[in-house]
Structure 1
């Protein structure tokens, strides 16, 4: 007994801590407070299953306590209670009732699942946009086929419009999940899975990989930036016609350093020198992103940290460090990257 008490107290502490942490997430990252129609449909299914389980628990415990009290052994009563073994009525009841409950749960679940797995309409419309989300170790690529845009780590969407997301992977199995907007969907190599997302109000929603995929699985984050339609249109125009050429001598030197060290993997649109690497994130508009590598706040200090030792920030990343660059080249490279708006 003396050993059991500390273990019980420790369990209680961890349970209270978990309950406390469950309420610390901002609403835009809370799966139980979705900010879009898709998430609300999924939450309805969660609530339905919880209500059915609560009903079952209440009925079972009510019967249990009734039997416990009604048929308890009384002093001096040694008679055998009436046996119900083999009762056809009871057997029918405990087969039919679970089947009815499963049907009540299955019909809306199947309907919502098939509805949300539909492909985007073939004809482009102002009511929706298409996005292809590709998981890589350990970053996310986003392609907008109707807008001819390829970007990474930030998925921009217009508020009030449905976004048809086609999810796949370029290497191992990942999972695309934006808790504040919709449930997770697997990103599997050679296979396209679909999930619609939508946001009812502007904001930045946290996204993450929800499938163990390697050393930096826990760091494979991204953001969904939901913005007004007018702001989204501005972002689209800026990404379609970017000006990524350097303006100062230092930035020009940085572009040369980039071309010598980074161009084979990274792409930058809107430059006279064609940079079309496709092995790593597209860096067009890099300075306007909220995060570096989907993880660090976008500032000079964190950029310096990332460039010097990416492995320290994201274990298992394929990006090599650039500690071999001298101070002048590193400074000019950072100046060029920070000029990409």
Structure 2
């Protein structure tokens, strides 16, 4: 019997083992909060679990006691004592759930008002304010300073950062598990939330709303820097110009221009931003949100046939020769604003 039980539990145990491996991937977990909002969610989750566990233990204990103590015995045909209409018992099992709900209600309501913000820059003059637009399937981050970043958003440590959330096409949902909750990006509607990172680091974000065939690949990163490093990054982003960035990869810049990449991918304020901005492409860890940026072969495959790697995206394929592709990738690698000795 024990052998059969273990055999049945093995699949569930394996699932838990694999899921536990996901918890360590760049803070993609709500169980290791790194910000005030995330800590509030975690504390309320623990409070709910404690209450539910307490109620479950008491209910099951009473259930088993009743099953054992009041089970029908042989020769006992008397009608058990009836408790229907017992005022004391009815008051008890009505008041206790109400009290438990009040315990959950108070922190939930107070926290909801605490973390609610208006999507109006004028209301947040002392905070970093970033406009987030969800696209199929990438994220656009527009800073008040006048530049745009794609797929990776930089924030200062220890400060509240207000995100205004919008969508270009369908409903998306902006979620950074280690820093806070999730709110939908809805076309034509501006929502907002604030996040605060308590320590420097890279925090993985996800789209939490099914938005198409490549929804699972719609990742982004939040990179939290100390204030002086953040200010330097902002200055560097503002100083970038496409031709200057191309100084070490002039041939690749020509390929970039000849293939009309600039029509969709802006660099240093030059070009259109219908696709992810490439100003600091060389600083990123991933391209297309999920693929290793150091993999030249994968990057070439993405440029030539993006639909194969990310179904449903709006990037057209490009027929580029091997030599031109090598130059183009060299140019893309040169798009950096982060100093070589930077820690972030």
Give the TM-score, by structure 1 length. 0.89
Q: Deviations over 1:262-315 (max 9, x none)?
A: 122121115xxx41x121111111111111111112123332121122111111
Of 106-115 and 239-248, more deviation after overlay is shown by 239-248
The Cα offsets for residues 54-84 of structure 1, whole Å up to 9 and x where unpaired, read as 1211221122122223322233322111101
Where does residue 304 of structure 2 map in the other structure? 308
1:55, 1:178 → 2: CA distance?
Answer: 31
Equivalent residue, structure 2, for 1:340 = 335
| Residue matched to 2:92 | 93
Distance 1:10 1:321 in 2: 49
1:186 aligns with 2:184: yes
In 2, Cα distance between equivalents of 1:250 and 1:308:
23
Structure 2 match to 1:79:
78
Aligned residues: 328
The equivalent of 1:295 in structure 2 is 290
Per the alignment, residue 17 of structure 1 pairs with 14
Aligned residue in 2 for 1:28: 27
SS at match of 2:187: coil
User: Aligned partners of 1:88 and 1:168: how far apart in 2?
Assistant: 54
Paired residues of 1:246 and 1:252 also in contact (CA < 8 A): no
SS for the counterpart of 1:55 is helix
Contact 1:250 1:332 in 2 (8 A): no
Q: CA RMSD in A?
A: 2.2
Aligned-partner Cα distance in 2 for 1:248–1:318: 26
Q: Which range is displaced more, 24-33 or 236-245?
A: 24-33
Query: For residues 7 and 327 of structure 2, what CA distance do their matches in structure 1 show?
Result: 53
> Which position in structure 2 is the counterpart of 1:39?
38
Contact 2:136–2:212 (Cα < 8 Å) also in 1: yes
Is contact 2:157-2:200 (8 Å) kept?
A: yes
Aligned-residue offset at 1:118: 1.8
Provide Cα deviations, 1:5-44, integer angstroms capped at 9, x if missing partner. Answer: 6xx7775233112221232221722211111111001111
Residue in structure 1 matching 2:238, options 228, 237, 240: 240
- In the TM superposition, what is the alpha-carbon distance from 1:93 to its structure 2 partner? 2.3
Helix, strand or coil for the counterpart of 2:181?
A: strand
Shifted more, 92-101 versus 278-287: the winner is 92-101
1:246, 1:336 within 8 Å by CA — same for their partners in 2?
A: no
Task: Verify: 1:165 aligned to 2:190, yes or no.
Answer: no
SS in 2 for 1:122: helix
Match of 2:342 in 1: none
Q: Give me the whole-angstrom Cα distance separating, in 2, the residues matched to 1:67 and 1:75.
A: 17
CA distance in 2, matches of 1:10, 1:182: 39
* CA distance in 1 between partners of 2:247 and 2:223 (Å): 33
Instruction: Give ranges in structure 2 of 5+ residues lacking alignment.
Output: 337-344
Mapping 1:109-188, distance limit 5 Å: 109-119=108-118, 122=123, 124-125=125-126, 128-145=127-144, 147-188=145-186
TM (norm. structure 2) is 0.88
